[in-house]
Structure 1
Amino acid sequence: MTSPVGERFSEFFDKWICQLDGYLQQLVRVSREGLSESEHQTLVSKLTAHYKEYYTVKWAAAHEDVLVFYCPVWLSKLENACSWLTGWKPSMIFGVVESMRRKSVAELTEEQVRKIEQLRVKIKLEEEKVEREMERQQVAMADRKVVELVRTARRIRNEELVVVVGNHQVEGLVEVALKGVLAGLERVMKAADCVRLKALKGVLDVLNPSQSLDFLAGICMLQIQIRKWGQNRDNQKGSNPIILGELHNNVIF
């Protein structure tokens, strides 16, 4: 059963992804028209603002119900399979940059290549930090206090409790423990989102406006195409498997 938060965010996401597709069409058109650097920068700013809107709405919704973002009903199975802690994995964007270089879409200077590599290493370390925090949250689910609460609640249900402890009291303790778990999951989600935004901004800071257009076009194209493939696969039975490792080669540019 979909929660009210999940329903509202599903509606928002459908509109947001349609707008993203519209921006992609603009990016493709502008990259072919040879507009001025200032016009390129204007479109880059519009698209980055669009991504910021997504995270603003996401964080507000997650504060009400963070669990819907760990099992999002608005995504296809393929999108969920590609997900990393409620979103795309930050280091994925370096594959897009490499695809740009390999297909000669953007010529990067040696200085740009050096900065991108430094950013890649930094983002990898931050990904690992967030993953360790997620592991800590998962382990905390089975700590001594939570296990004791589970045992107590079970004994009450089976009417085997000798010490008089009201069921209402136990439920209150469980609720407190659960709130702690949910707060931890929300922190992990926000930390992962911050790494995503940091990776995106870091690459854009290195690229010039024209290169940024090509880069953002690749990011948008990848996200939209994975969604289309996933939706098609969910609606069809017996379809051919998609090899995720070939996504960059087949989609980007």
Structure 2
Amino acid sequence: MAQNPTEPNVLESFMTFFQGWLVRQQSFLEQLHHSISSESANEVNQQKSLIEQVLAHYQEYYEETAKLARQDVFLLFCPPWLSSFERTLLWAAGYKPSLILRIVDGAVKDLTDEQTRRMEEVKAETKNGEKELTETLARLQQSVAAPPMVALARRIGRIMDGEISSLDSAIEALKTSMLRVLEDADSLRKSTVSKVVEILSPVQTLKFLAAAAQFQLQVRRWGMERDSQKALTGVV
């Protein structure tokens, strides 16, 4: 039976990367806050440079998760490097793109009428993209629960050679579909951020990126503390 288990060193390598990525995320958050507080007209180039660095930081994360997904896409849909609380917020192995827009609404209060109009267009496009992907995810879940897959799974302990091939084919088809969903979801997340950055001014973008980083790090901190408390008390 053909298998493609995640090699321990591959997962360990990603988890090491992720810990370092979070450290850099905290550093960028501090730089963003400093840039916002020292706002002045002659610092526009520095602001744009920082924005580019932060966006490259996120792109690095997407590239690393894409590598891991090619090894074992199932890991991305239930990532062991996240806390249990962080996992409850996942949609297609990441945050919903619409969350990005809610963060903008909370962090940027000085949008012009034209910016507001363009943001509404992005919200509509993002909503449609999320709807399509959510429907695709639902179909995937239905296919996993469909009689042929369930029957094969129940017979795994007494499966015959011919059925092994059928099970392998079903799992490979599921992997391919999940990988495609992940790629499409990441594409929607990245395109949403790109559209937002294109609409906002540099200072507004700094505020948005700072709020996004703050949100992620706070969720991370709270989730890890919650898991630690559960471990100490034995609560599941």
TM-score for both structures, normalised by structure 1 = 0.82
- Residue of structure 1 in register with 2:176 after alignment: 183
1: distance between equivalents of 2:103 and 2:135?
Answer: 26
The 2-side partners of 1:214 and 1:50 are apart by 17
Q: What's the RMSD between the two structures over aligned residues? A: 2.3
What is the alpha-carbon distance in structure 1 between the residues aligned to residue 206 and residue 28 of structure 2? 11
Change (3 A) 1:149 1:79: closer
- The match for 1:194 is 187
Distance 1:145 1:130 in 2: 24
- For residues 150 and 30 of structure 1, do their structure 2 counterparts lie closer, same or farther at Cα, with a shift above 3 Å needed? closer
Structure 2: distance between partners of 1:86 and 1:224 = 17
Distance in 2, Cα, partners of 1:203 & 1:84: 20
Does residue 162 of structure 2 align to residue 157 of structure 1?
A: no
- 1:42 aligns with 49
Q: Which moved more, 1:138-147 or 1:172-181?
A: 138-147
Structure 1 Cα separation of the partners of residues 69 and 50 of structure 2: 29
Q: Note the C-alpha offset of 1:34.
A: 1.9
Residue 77 of structure 1 deviates from its aligned partner by: 1.2
Match of 2:71 among 64, 72, 96: 64
1:215 aligns with 2:222: no
Distance 2:89 2:223 in 1: 10
Query: What is residue 25 of structure 1 aligned with on the other side?
Result: 30
Shift of 1:189: 1.1
Structure-1 residue corresponding to 2:62: 55
Match of 2:144 in 1: 141
Bigger Rg over Cα: 1
State the percentage of identical aligned residues: 32
Structure 2: distance between partners of 1:141 and 1:237: 31
Question: Quick one: distance in 1 between partners of 2:53 and 2:152?
Answer: 50
1:75 aligns to what SS in structure 2? coil
Q: What are the superposed Cα offsets for residues 40-66 of structure 1, whole Å, 9 maximum, x if unpaired?
A: 000000000110111011111101100
- Structure 2, unpaired ranges of 5+: 1-5, 232-236
In the TM superposition, what is the alpha-carbon distance from 1:94 to its structure 2 partner? 1.6
Q: Deviations over 1:137-164 (max 9, x none)?
A: 122224454356457x46x829xxxxxx
2:132 to 119, 129, 135: 129
Query: Unaligned 5+ residue runs, structure 1?
Result: 159-166, 239-253
> Who is 1:118 aligned against?
121
1:6 and 1:68 in contact (8 A); partners too: no
Distance 1:114 1:89 in 2: 21
Report the count of equivalent residues.
225
Residue 7 (structure 1) aligns with: 12
* Residues in 2 aligned to 1:72 and 1:148: alpha-carbon distance in whole angstroms: 27
Q: Please tell me the residue identity of whatever aligns with 2:27.
A: G
Check the 8 A contact 1:6/1:72 in 2, yes or no.
no
Instruction: Tell whether the 8 Å contact from 1:44 to 1:213 is kept in structure 2 after alignment.
Output: yes
Is residue 106 of structure 2 the alignment partner of residue 99 of structure 1? yes
Q: CA deviation at 1:178?
A: 0.6
Amino acid at match of 2:200: L
SS in 2 for 1:65: helix
Q: Residue 79 of structure 1 contacts residue 226 of structure 1 at CA under 8 Å; is this kept in 2?
A: yes
Which 10-residue stretch deviates more, 173-182 or 3-12?
Answer: 3-12
Supply the AA of the counterpart residue of 2:158: R
